[in-house]
Structure 1
Amino acid sequence: MKKFAGLFLLLIVLTLSIARAQDASDQQSPSTQTTSLEERAASDVFIADASYVFESEIHNHGSFGDQDAGELNVEYSHRFHISGPIYFRAGLNYNRFEFGKTFAPLPDHLQSFSAVVALEYLVGNDVGAFLQFRPGFYTEDHIGISSFDVPITLGRVFVLQPEKLFLFVGVNTAFLRGQYPVLPLAGLVWRPNKQWTVDAVVPEPRVTYSPNENIGFWVGGQLAGSSFRTDRDPNILPRKLSNAQVDYSEYRAGLGVNWNPSDHWTMTVAGGYAFQRRFNFERAGEEWKADGAPYVRVAMKAEF
């Protein structure tokens, strides 16, 4: 966990350094941008997101000690223009969860290495519909056929009121997910004016107030986690947790601020309370839950 804490601090420093450098560059550069809408849409996108949940008791018919948790998510993708509003997006993603040591027979980390492959229909610079595949390995450490998965998400946005009210519907499926292999998705996005946005869509529903174009204050929730395959362990008890499928999830609520130092960068700093963390070995019939604890989060997104 100390190693993860170092990565977390490094991301904070990197975020602030890039923001300062970008701000200085924008001040020195003449404002002669002639980028077309098509060039903006066919963009490179880089996302880095790190969070830390403080210690809380983890239990399963009794206490197994206190555990903290951290997450690091890094993704790069590029959009290729096909025709009209149709784009192909391809990239790579790395997601890692680190867990503190306890007496529970739980992994000390879970991670995924996946590709990002998507077909997107863009309306302006917004995604109106998409079909996304994330083939890769969702594992503890071992890479093999049992840890391979292809989560698929299909989504569509319907305009209920131009520039104000939108309906999102979709479906997500993952073969490694034990409890709900197929999940329906639905939500509303409401923009009553330029200052307020109500985004009632998982995994990050929130209400945002933006006094200007460069900053936004928000309150909302977050559902974090994924499904993985643990490694084979001949010494683990119960034995059914060896090479087992596990759904890991976190339910969070908090406050945050988004800062846009330029059109290309978004920095996010947030904090709040993780109401529950859960290791659900659905197919093995075992479950561990961690009590609530505070969390902090920092993220950045660059789009060119």
Structure 2
Amino acid sequence: MLTGSAMAQRVQIPATAPSTFAAPSQAPSAWGTQAGAYPAQGAVGAVGAVPPPAFDAYAPGVATPYGAPVGSPYTYTPPAGAAAPYSAAPYSAAPYSGAPAYTPYTPAPSAPGYGGWGNETAPYGWEKGTYGFESSPGTTVRFQQFLRQVRGEHTLLMGDGSSDAFELNRMELTSTLTFPVAGNIEAPLLVTPGFAFNWLDGPRSAEANVPGTVYDAYLDTAWYPRINTALGAELGFRTGVWSDFSNLDSDSLRLMGRGLGVLTVSPQMDFLLGVVYLDRIRVKMLPAGGVRWRPTPEWDLYLVFPNPKIRKRLQSVGGADWWWYLAAEYGGGSWTVERTAPAPRNDRFDYNDIRFVLGFEWESASQLRGHAEVGYVFDRELVFDSNSPERFEPDETIMFRLGLGF
């Protein structure tokens, strides 16, 4: 209201009509950050109208490939019989652990990720999934979540004290930091320092004895770039010291890596092919590859050797989202040690096994997450660099694993 000494004049500013595609809160996307503000859009269904920005087509809560949340006023309906670009949602260029990821999977992923944080063949750095945390409410939140993560996990491989038993208790602590590459927070460089205690019980045989405790101290890096809408990669590198710290030599320093190419044929399906380098005594390298398929927002099938995982969303309970999963792992590790029998010597040994796992995982709105697993462990072996003995085969056993991260 403008007021003068002798008269008053009312000035009315006309209201600006909202855009048909007013910008909703941005959903997380595996395909890249939607940069800048949303442009004004044409009328819904009008021929020649610009389609709304694409969102992650397999993220929970997405109704159509156009990315409109269920029940949202922003739902976009293309005109009947319209040709491209209306026939398919465009997705722009935009991790394997991480997986991230729960590596989807964690990991995910896993990555998660997939196969647990302590598994050397799992996606590096991810808990829930290869391409990120689907349940995160947005890109900014996901970046903040990845900026600093602290995780702890305990794994128990049971032993019965017999001459053919080998028990392992493993406690691992890690923290993940992210560093955007060229300003892209959708595919950051993940840097994860970690430390693990491994308490061993057995073998009872004097020829196959190992120390009671060995350690892992490592630095892990992972990167999951997208070259374009069809091509990407899962890259990881890990180095550190694996030893009982009584015998430290050049073999204590291990170099491990992971490299897979990713061919994306649709927002729901990827094909992966590559290798995992383990730097163990007997198993230096493993082929890696398979398919990842997300037929619905509730299902995530990561059928990729050597750490496949099938994951199904359950429901929300007490403010937390729950999933169940079936997974397989190639587990184990390699350490330099000082052995005391039958004579003192410096040596190196590998522990290798195969694991089938049933697990449950959950994530709260505050990003507190955890998992619980039970597994069957078989094809177990200890391999010694000195060939004394050449190989020891422990009994099959049961595995229990618990993890918590925030």
Q: Is the Cα–Cα contact under 8 Å of residues 56 and 292 in structure 1 kept in the other structure?
A: no
Deviation at 1:210, TM superposition (A): 0.9
Deviation at 1:84, TM superposition (A): 4.4
1:11 aligns with: none
Code of the aligned partner of 1:43: L
2:175 to 76, 79, 85: 76
1:116 aligns with: 220
Code of the aligned partner of 2:235: L
Cα pair distance change 1:251/1:174, threshold 3 Å: closer
Q: Distance in 1 between matches of 2:312 and 2:370?
A: 16
The structure with the greater share of residues assigned to helix is 1
1:220 to 320, 327, 347: 327
Cα pair distance change 1:48/1:170, threshold 3 Å: farther
Deviation at 1:45, TM superposition (A): 3.0
2:313 aligns with: 210
Residue 233 of structure 2 corresponds to residue 129 of structure 1:
yes
Residue 145 of structure 2 corresponds to residue 48 of structure 1:
no
Cα pair distance change 1:73/1:168, threshold 3 Å: farther
1:23 aligns with: none
Q: Distance in 2 between matches of 1:66 and 1:34?
A: 48
Code of the aligned partner of 1:301: G
Q: Is the Cα–Cα contact under 8 Å of residues 210 and 337 in structure 2 kept in the other structure?
A: no
Residue 203 of structure 2 corresponds to residue 98 of structure 1:
no
- What is the DSSP-based 3-state SS (H/G/I as helix, E as strand, rest coil) of the residue aligned with 1:39? helix
Code of the aligned partner of 1:36: T
2:396 to 292, 297, 302: 292
The structure with the greater share of residues assigned to strand is 1
2:291 to 184, 188, 196: 188
Q: TM-score, normalised by structure 2?
A: 0.56
Count residues with an aligned counterpart: 256
Residue 385 of structure 2 corresponds to residue 278 of structure 1:
no
Residue 165 of structure 2 corresponds to residue 66 of structure 1:
yes
CA deviation map 1:70-102 (0-9, x unaligned):
222221121111314453332311133222144
Code of the aligned partner of 2:198: F
Cα pair distance change 1:278/1:251, threshold 3 Å: same
Deviation at 1:290, TM superposition (A): 1.4
Residue 359 of structure 2 corresponds to residue 256 of structure 1:
yes
Consecutive unaligned residues in structure 2, runs of 5 or more: 1-136
Larger Rg: 2
Q: Distance in 1 between matches of 2:142 and 2:360?
A: 29
Q: Distance in 1 between matches of 2:138 and 2:289?
A: 37
1:153 aligns with: 258
Deviation at 1:294, TM superposition (A): 1.9
CA deviation map 1:187-232 (0-9, x unaligned):
221111122221222453222221336111112223221222222x
- What is the DSSP-based 3-state SS (H/G/I as helix, E as strand, rest coil) of the residue aligned with 2:166? strand
Code of the aligned partner of 2:384: F
1:229 aligns with: 336
Consecutive unaligned residues in structure 1, runs of 5 or more: 1-32, 59-63
Q: Distance in 2 between matches of 1:152 and 1:191?
A: 26
Query: Percent of aligned pairs with the same residue?
Result: 17
Deviation at 1:170, TM superposition (A): 2.5
Q: Distance in 2 between matches of 1:251 and 1:160?
A: 31
Cα pair distance change 1:122/1:87, threshold 3 Å: farther
CA deviation map 1:150-185 (0-9, x unaligned):
2122233221221x211222322244x111222221
Q: Distance in 1 between matches of 2:393 and 2:139?
A: 50
Q: Which has the higher contact order (CA 8 A, sep 6+)?
A: 1
Q: Is the Cα–Cα contact under 8 Å of residues 148 and 178 in structure 2 kept in the other structure?
A: yes
Q: TM-score, normalised by structure 1?
A: 0.73
CA deviation map 1:51-87 (0-9, x unaligned):
11222577xxxxx353322222221121111314453
Q: Distance in 2 between matches of 1:83 and 1:258?
A: 33
Q: Distance in 1 between matches of 2:258 and 2:139?
A: 31
Q: Which moved more, 1:260-269 or 1:286-295?
A: 260-269
Q: Distance in 1 between matches of 2:252 and 2:211?
A: 15
Q: Distance in 2 between matches of 1:252 and 1:101?
A: 20
